[in-house]
Amino acid sequence: MRGIRFYQCPTTILAHDSAVGGKTGINHPAGKNMIGTFYQPAAVVYDTEMLSSLPEEQVRSGMAEVIKHAFLSNPHWLDELLGTADITALTGSQLELHLSRGIAVKAAIVEEDALEQGARKFLNLGHTLAHAIEAHAGYGTVTHGEAVALGLAFDLLIGGHDRLEDYLKWCAANRYPLELLSDFDIRELLPYMKRDKKSSRGELVFIELADTGCPALRVLEEQEVISFYHKLGQKIKEVLG
Ligand SMILES: NC(=O)c1ccc[n+]([C@@H]2O[C@H](COP(=O)([O-])OP(=O)(O)OC[C@H]3O[C@@H](n4cnc5c(N)ncnc54)[C@H](O)[C@@H]3O)[C@@H](O)[C@H]2O)c1
Ligand SMILES: [Zn+2]
């Protein structure tokens, strides 16, 4: 059946992201999505009726990729999301609006750079730390989106984004497991981050975000990562009180 055409029918919020762009992948103990290829579906059929049965944890997971798209593109949309104290209470039509905006952001970047030689890397906002957490915790222990929520906080911190605190409050209100950060020893996460796909020579590569819509690649020294990680832990403690 190699090379057959196929249709993709996403059933999660998270998949508004993964169903666009033709990436396929499997996880490996050495790293997240470590083995895979690009193979475009003939079409994506997204029936949002399916989303009404998603458990709360999966709504939270998917909405982390939605807010990532907002951070990458549009401060007004970001304000709207940050003003949503309970993302599990969105109506069907509100959710559809957020998803169509997210898909538009992803599609525009993928059209420009399908094979991730440039701009597509920015979609990896939050993912250097997220993938390390998922691999280290054991796949399935932490949802992808929950890990992305923590990774996003890290990338906002290193960029000095002025909405970091509001974002952490939003995460807390929406019950993202921010307290998990203190469960991990950053030194144990470093080897995973050095094998990240954005890293070609074992450097530590992040997507920093100084302003909404302005992502940039940032290479950090080991010591810097450790110190930013501890700084984020402190900020989280302050926000959680
Ligand atoms: N975000 C991305 O761009 C991207 C890219 C590639 C891979 N991925 C990976 O995809 C994986 C997870 O994908 P996912 O969360 O979309 O799918 P999933 O199949 O893992 O679904 C998550 C859980 O929700 C349940 N579920 C799915 N649809 C449901 C529905 N409509 N109603 C009730 N329950 C439902 C599933 O049974 C499962 O328990 C992660 O490992 C992630 O890293 C993401
Ligand atoms: Zn993702």
SS3 47: coil
Task: Give 211's DSSP letter.
Answer: S
Kind and range of the H or E element at 206?
strand 204-209
Write down the pLDDT at residue 32.
85
Q: pLDDT per position in the chain (241 positions), as tens?
A: 888 999 999 999 999 999 999 999 999 988 888 899 999 999 999 999 999 999 999 999 999 999 999 999 999 999 999 999 999 999 999 999 999 999 999 999 999 988 888 889 999 999 999 999 999 999 889 999 999 999 999 999 999 999 999 999 999 999 999 999 999 999 999 999 999 999 989 999 999 999 999 999 999 999 999 999 999 999 999 998 8
18 alpha carbon, closest ligand: 1
58 C-beta closer than 6 A to ligand 1? yes
> Are the beta carbons of 110 and 21 closer than 8 angstroms?
yes
Q: Is 23 in the pocket of ligand 1 (CB under 6 A)?
A: yes
- Domains of the chain in start order, with CATH, are 56-240 (1.20.1090.10)
Reading the block at residue 231, the tokens are 């700084």
d(CA 8, ligand 1 centre) in Å: 13
The answer to pTM > 0.75 is yes
Distance between CA 128 and CA 188 in Å, rounded? 14
Determine the distance separating the centroid of ligand 2 and the alpha carbon of 26, expressed in angstroms: 13
The bound ligand whose nearest atom lies closest to the alpha carbon of 109 is 1
- Point out the residues that are catalytic: 2, 23, 65, 106, 116, 120, 124, 127, 131, 144
Distance of CA 131 from the midpoint of ligand 2 (Å): 9
How far apart CA 226 and CA 32 sit, in angstroms, is 21
Query: 8 CB less than 6 Å from ligand 1?
Result: no
The pLDDT value recorded for residue 114 is: 86
- Token representation of residue 214: 């302005």
Q: Would you report the helix, strand and coil content of the chain in percent, each value rounded to 5?
A: 55, 10, 30
> In this structure, which amino acid lies at residue 10?
P
67 within 8 A of 31, measured Cβ to Cβ: no
